[in-house]
Amino acid sequence: SGLLTRLQTSGLTGRTLSPSKSFSQNIPSCLWKLGRLNHVAIAVPDLEKAQSLYKDVLGAQVSEAVALPEHGVYTVFVELGNTKLELLHPLGEKSPIASFLQKNKTGGMHHICIEVDDIKAAMTELKKKKIRILSEEPKIGAHGKPVIFLHPKDCHGVLVELEQA
């Protein structure tokens, strides 16, 4: 007559989801769709050491550093087969990565990037849902495609970048 008996008699045990119903049936349809994880961005205090770790120690394919002055960063991409890592290093004193590294001296995860099929539709719908976007218009990102960033306080503490697929 313990808790297990009460759970069994209340019908809470043995319940399973019907195989014909999927979780996605509960998600309202949107004018845009999330795609694959494009990359995880890591802020690094020493770009050359980070490149060496992934290339020389772990054996990954690593790009050359590219300066993106409009974003205040140097970027390096590490190819992982199913996704990429983006190594970020400050470019200029107003770099958002410089302020991140002041708080996180050894570096760390900065943001995740997820592809979307329609960035403008995503922006419109996210604004309606009270998700703050950190720019009024998309900017061209490291892959030459439009990107936006969603406020981390609206995304459970994670800075989310959306990139036009």
Give the angle subtended at the CA of 74 by the CAs of 73 and 75, to the nearest 5°: 110
- Predicted pLDDT at 93: 80
Q: Among residues of the chain, what percentage have pLDDT more than 90? A: 78
Local confidence band at 137 (pLDDT 50, 70, 90 cut-offs): very high
**H helix or E strand, kind and range, residue 39:** strand 34-43
CATH topology of domain 34-164: 2,3-Dihydroxybiphenyl 1,2-Dioxygenase; domain 1 (3.10.180)
Q: What is the pLDDT of residues 147-160, one digit of tens each?
A: 999 999 999 999 99
Residue ranges per structural domain of the chain: 34-164
- Predicted pLDDT at 26: 57
Q: What is the pLDDT of residues 34-48, one digit of tens each?
A: 999 999 999 999 999
What is the full DSSP assignment across 89-105? EE-STT-HHHHHHHHST
**Secondary structure (H, E, C), 59-83:** CCEECCCEEECCCCEEEEEEECCCC
